Amino acid sequence: MTLIIEHRQDPTPEDREAILAPLRAYNVAQAGDGKSELLALVVRDEQGEILGGLYGRFFYRWLFIELLSVPEQARGDGMGSKLMRMAEDMAREKACVGIWLDTFSFQAPQFYQKLGYSELGQIVDYPPGHRRHFFQKRLIDSI
């Protein structure tokens, strides 16, 4: 069999799924089905418009927080901490090992440290002149 590598200028969602399918199959064979489940906590105004919130995914007994957006008018009044506490409570209910996330240096790495998250590492100059920080918080001891 001859294999060819092709550079796709405009990859499609189908391209991504075709690449992901064998990887998922391999991961399931090695670690079992992670039973992915989405989490969304939305912050709405009086008119029902979503202004921010928290979005994540439970996977392999960890919660990955993909997005945390606190509306500008609510910053500094505990809204971010409340969203994080709610997510942590849900992760504990699901017996998660822990929570992980990433953030940029111009966002709020100190916020996560104050909530008990420890830094795992960072990428310097991502984006240029800044850093991307990776954090975790273990909810249970090593298994």
* pLDDT at residue 123, rounded to an integer: 98
> Is residue 57 assigned to a domain?
yes
pLDDT at residue 143 tops 60:
no
| Helix/strand/coil for 11 | coil
96 confidence band (pLDDT: 50, 70, 90):
very high
Q: Measuring CA to CA, how many Å separate 87 from each of 3, 8, 92, 94, 106?
A: 45, 38, 9, 11, 23
| Helix/strand/coil for 27 | helix
Mean pLDDT, range 57-66, rounded to an integer = 97
pLDDT at residue 98 tops 80:
yes
> Is residue 96 assigned to a domain?
yes
141 confidence band (pLDDT: 50, 70, 90):
confident
Rounded distance between C-alpha atoms, residue 48 and residue 43, angstroms = 9
User: Domain limits at 83?
Assistant: 34-138
12: number of CA atoms within 13 Å, CB side? 3
* pLDDT at residue 142, rounded to an integer: 62
Number of independent structural domains in the chain: 1
Mean pLDDT, range 72-83, rounded to an integer = 94
CA dihedral 19, 20, 25, 29 (to 10 degrees): 110
Q: What is the CATH number of the domain that holds 92?
A: 3.40.630.30
Residue 47, token pair as written in the block: 């008119």
pLDDT at residue 39 tops 80:
yes
Q: State what percent of residues in the chain have pLDDT above 70.
A: 99
> Is residue 9 assigned to a domain?
no
* pLDDT at residue 22, rounded to an integer: 96
> Is residue 26 assigned to a domain?
no
> Is residue 92 assigned to a domain?
yes
